[in-house]
Amino acid sequence: MEALKTYLRETRTTPKAFAKLIGVDVEDLDDVLSGAAAVDVVLAQRMVDATGGALLIGDFVGNPTNGAADIVDFRSRLAGGAEIDTERLAGVLAEMLPALIGGARRKGDRKLPGLAAEAAANTYLALSTITTRAGADRLAQALRPVVAEILEELSAPAAAHRDLEATTRRAAALYFQALPEKRRA
């Protein structure tokens, strides 16, 4: 029940309010929280639904922790499915980076879009725990430091540095335009 206790604490939800939300008496929820009552699959599913997926059925049934304390990152759980397709992003960056940095100048520059896409995808996922931004806004937020570092390392023209914000927003918009609707983060 640690996941439920943590969820209630982090969301500042009272047991009374949560009990009402999942349709049980507060006394029954108190029994669950204290470990005096087990959670059946139906109640577990109601809790999962009520939290929008922040809690998982495995937090309640069929997933004993043997007393070990688990660290639960609810924001990451809610961001599930919001991963960036690095190949698609590398394709977008392959179109934009050469013009931004003044063309492919070194032998390793053809690998640059893939490396930048990987870094931005990891940053995008990490940002899910600290920002409410989503989709293109979060991707632009993730791309900004990656592209800025590339510009700095490759001594890009000053104009490229000035256009950083517009470039990252355009790259994010192009990435999300290319995605099927059901895959958009």
Lookup: tokens for 3: 């996941």
Cβ–Cβ < 8 Å for 97, 114: no
What pLDDT digit, counting tens, does each position of 19-51 carry?
Answer: 999 999 999 999 999 989 988 888 888 888 888
CATH class of 86-183: mainly alpha
Domain definitions of the chain by residue range: 2-73, 86-183
What pLDDT digit, counting tens, does each position of 80-126 carry?
Answer: 445 788 999 999 998 888 877 766 555 456 788 999 999 999 888 87
What pLDDT digit, counting tens, does each position of 121-151 carry?
Answer: 988 887 776 766 778 888 999 999 999 998 8
Give the architecture-level CATH label for domain 2-73: Orthogonal Bundle (1.10)
